[in-house]
Amino acid sequence: MDRNAVIIITGAAGFIGSCLTGYLNRKGYYNIIIVDDFSDESKRHNYEEKKICARVDRDELFDWLNRYKIRIDFVFHLGAHVGYNHADSSVFERLNIEYSKQVWNYCKDKHIPLVFASSDSTYGLGEKGFSDFELPEKLNPVDAYGVSKNEFDKWALRQSNELKSPSFWAGLKFFDVYGPNEYHKGKFASSVYHSFQQADTEGKIKLFKSENTRYQNGDQRRDFVYVKDVVDVCYWLMQKSAEEENDFVSGFYNVGTGKTRTFNEMAEAISKSLDKKISIEYTEPSENSRTFYSNFSEGEIKKLKEAGYNKKFYSLEDGVRTYVQNFLLSNKYY
């Protein structure tokens, strides 16, 4: 896509959205409209140095677009309300479903390609596997966030089947993403981030004891994916949408490494990145963690590869080393 293209990124003050903005800047894209709730000062460092053409409050986006009538070339809808549950469940309905419908319909009406964030949480505890060939109607998410993402996925698929969709769209199911610019996320930051903080301040890493006889302590598994790979996929999709001979099939795509790794291996990667021996303490999971905890995740990425994406993903060891040594140790932003 031409570097003069005008691109909207929602959730641009957050983790993945701010990394994508920085990535596009490095590729020479500066006509970027960043959209978010910018009232959270803890996110300011994620976006304040980025080269953009406009910053728009999330709740003012559609009025702003109608007022200025700027031609938009691509939309990345990465904004969402995250969390397992919320005292006011309507926040998931409003931000993750209804707002996403507005974005979808705007892109449909204006013929704008759209990439939006779904989530691996739509797979629930993984009892039905982690295949992006599986229809959203058959999935069983277990928390309010996963339910809200899956409800929008189901709606989007119905719209697409009725030919009421953008001509090009992709819903990306991100697995366990880690990397720079997640400093503000608190308890919702990645396991890699929290484990590094524990190693750096306490000299040990705390992992959950296993409550499943199939897994030893710390051998519960995740598909850890470095954020650089996530934004690489986003960029590839944007370029794909601009191809004249475009055979891309719109739909849902897993974004993970396709290789599951243990928490013990993650802890070892942090230890090696710090070049010191870090002990591991196995602790009892909280009641909330027991409710929503999955012992295994692994994103099948055959569909993404068949669509033409062939770039190699960071290994856990390479991704953790890059994150720790280039960002965490110096508290740098991307």
3-state SS string for 165-216? CCCCEEEEEECEEECCCCHHHHHHCCHHHHHHHHHHHHCEEEEECCCCCCCC
Contact 66, 127 (CB under 8 A): no
Q: Out of 51, 185, 209, 259, pick the active-site residue.
A: 185
**How buried is 47 (Cβ within 10 angstroms: 0-12 exposed, 13-18 middle, 19+ buried)?**
buried
Handedness of CA 89, 95, 98, 104 (dihedral sign): negative
**Do the strands 114-117 and 74-77 form a parallel or antiparallel pair, or are they unpaired?**
parallel
C-alpha–C-alpha distance, residues 80 and 153, integer Å:
13
C-alpha–C-alpha distance, residues 293 and 289, integer Å:
5
| Exposure string for 108-147, b = 16+ CB within 10 A, e = fewer | beeebbbbbbbbbbbbbeeeeebebeeebeebebbbbbbb
Question: Is 293 labeled as catalytic in the residue annotation?
Answer: no
Phi, psi of 289 (to 5 degrees): -65, -40
Question: Is 185 labeled as catalytic in the residue annotation?
Answer: yes
Q: Is 33 helix (H, G, I), strand (E, B) or coil?
A: strand
Distances (CA, A) of 189 to 5, 30, 252: 32, 28, 24
Q: Out of 23, 47, 145, 314, pick the active-site residue.
A: 145
Residues annotated catalytic, as ranges: 145, 185
